Amino acid sequence: MIEKCFYTDSYLTKWDTKINEIIQRDDKFLITLEKSYFYPGGGGQPSDRGTIDDIKVLDVLEEGNKIYHVLNKLPNEKKVLCKIDFKRRFSNMQQHTGEHILAATFYKLYQGVSNAFHMGEEYVSIDISLPEVTLDMLRKVEDEVNQIIYTDVEVKTYMVDLEKSKSIPLRKQPKVSEDLRIVEIEGVDFCPCCGTHVNRTGEVGILKILKTEKSKGATRIYFQCGRKALEDYRKKHEVISDLNERFSANENTLIEKVNKYVEDFRKLELEIKELKQEISLKEAKGLVKEAQGPVVYGCYENKKIDEIMFIAKQVFLKGQYIFIGISLESKKIFISHNTDLIIHCGNLLKEEIKTFNAKGGGSPTQAQGSFENTAELLKCGDNLRRMCREMEDIQ
């Protein structure tokens, strides 16, 4: 039977032991130890990290009746010194115990059952069997969870057989037929679990719900506990402080000031758009006036392609034309026509850009292409103008 020392003492971080077995798998080495406190992962909790004789432990795996420690090279001696990355381990313990409290509270207040649990590097999530969770529900759950944390009740872990487990008010029924490891949060929760946990709820520090999303008829709850919650709060506080300074606001007036800024910005955007359209109308008139035949050409330094397309529409309101427009800003070309001439803009452009470092295409009446090189863009524009004039002469 494999000895899972991390269950007897999840706070031990350094110990001496011996290597029992070495297996090479691809370019990695998998070793077993005489005694190991490294957690191999399971139940939604990731495996531990640390070192074995200062060699980084890349992963810890439980396969069959053995726990393997994955290294990229082997220690020099059989006797080794093992160290666990306790900052990571303790954070995982905080998140996992916090998850039990959160799931138990959802069950207590709203009969929501936890169906899935994921502990990532950046966040933790659980899926609760409730199709909708309101903001008021989240606040009540969060308050209740943190009250349990403040109360600092004991967290016990112990093994029981399947028969004994039937007399325990388990929040989740076991999916195994062998002995169970129970995590009991005093007066709060009983749940089968294979992960590592803190000794008392106070060590969780704080639990903060970050966001929710729909997930297959359930609700996925994202949250953080302990140091991760502190780091998240610190980052958000720095962002808020920076915004307060930029907008000459405080926490009570920031949203109002940002909303006012956004409203003013949208008004300015609309005014700018209207002014640009007025300018484009004048430019369209000028292009038509200067055009020799049906080919109209415009090359613009600071216009986006959608502005050029607007000019083309205004040109077409004044008669039948072939319009070729170039945006130097975005290195794009646009060709369109509303004539009776047999011109397929998409095919014409595709054929022309074959000789350039460009891509593009379109329909019979309009097409556009993107270029890497401005000189090639201008050359393509000249070529299209020439070809369109030749087509006019032929037809």
CB 291 within 8 A of CB 321: yes
What is the sign of the dihedral through the CA atoms of 20, 21, 22 and 25?
negative
Supply the pLDDT for residue 28. 94
Listed ranges 41-50, 236-245, 348-357; the one with the highest mean pLDDT? 236-245
140 and 79, same structural domain?
A: no
The answer to whether residue 228 scores a pLDDT higher than 70 is: yes
150 and 113, same structural domain?
A: yes
387 and 281, same structural domain?
A: yes
153 and 78, same structural domain?
A: no
- The CATH number that applies at residue 24 is 2.40.30.130
CA distance 294 to 287: 11
Supply the pLDDT for residue 172. 84
Residue 247, in any domain of the structure? no
What does the pLDDT look like over 112-153, one tens digit per residue? Answer: 999 999 998 888 999 999 999 999 999 999 999 999 999 999
The answer to whether residue 386 scores a pLDDT higher than 60 is: yes
Supply the pLDDT for residue 205. 98
Name the residue with tokens 């000189």: 375
Instruction: Quickly state the pLDDT bin for 390 (edges 50, 70, 90).
Output: confident
The answer to whether residue 3 scores a pLDDT higher than 90 is: no
The answer to whether residue 342 scores a pLDDT higher than 60 is: yes
Supply the pLDDT for residue 392. 64
Residue 112, in any domain of the structure? yes
73 and 118, same structural domain?
A: no
176 or 323: whose pLDDT is higher?
A: 323
Predicted structure pTM score? 0.77
Provide CB contacts within 8 A for 326, sequence distance 6+: 298, 299, 300, 308, 332, 333, 334, 377, 378, 381
CB 183 within 8 A of CB 99: no
Summarize the confidence of residues 296-315 as an average pLDDT. 92
Summarize the confidence of residues 385-390 as an average pLDDT. 87
Supply the pLDDT for residue 291. 82
Which residue segment(s) compose the domain that 198 sits in? 89-234
CA distance 38 to 36: 5
Q: Please give the tally of structural domains in the chain.
A: 3
Summarize the confidence of residues 355-369 as an average pLDDT. 93
Provide CB contacts within 8 A for 88, sequence distance 6+: 48, 49
Q: Tell me the percentage of the chain whose pLDDT exceeds 90.
A: 80
- The CATH number that applies at residue 163 is 3.30.980.10
Residue 264, in any domain of the structure? no
41 or 267: whose pLDDT is higher?
A: 267
Supply the pLDDT for residue 321. 92
Residue 271, in any domain of the structure? no
DSSP conformation letters of 368-386:
EEEES-HHHHHHHHHHHHH
Summarize the confidence of residues 263-270 as an average pLDDT. 96
Supply the pLDDT for residue 164. 86
Complete edge-to-edge strand list for the sheet that includes strand 295-300 = 295-300, 322-327, 332-337, 366-371, 358-362
Q: Is 347 exposed, middle or buried (0-12, 13-18, 19+ CB in 10 A)?
A: middle
Q: Compute, in degrees rounded to 10, the torsion defined by CA atoms 262, 268, 269, 275.
A: 170
Rounded to 5 degrees, what angle do the CA atoms 112, 118, 123 make? 105
Instruction: Quickly state the pLDDT bin for 394 (edges 50, 70, 90).
Output: low
- Closest C-alpha to 388, from 334, 330, 343: 343
31 or 165: whose pLDDT is higher?
A: 31
**DSSP classification of residue 331:** T
Amino acid identity, residue 377?
Answer: L
Amino acid identity, residue 96?
Answer: H
Rounded to 5 degrees, what angle do the CA atoms 380, 385, 387 make? 95
- 3 state DSSP class of 130: coil
Instruction: Give the end of a domain, one of 45, 65, 84.
Output: 84
Beta bridge partner(s), residue 214: 219
CA distance 165 to 159: 9
Q: Which residues of 295-329 are buried (b: 16+ CB within 10 A; e: fewer)?
A: bbbbbbeebebebbbbbbebbbeeeebbbbbbbee
Supply the pLDDT for residue 389. 85
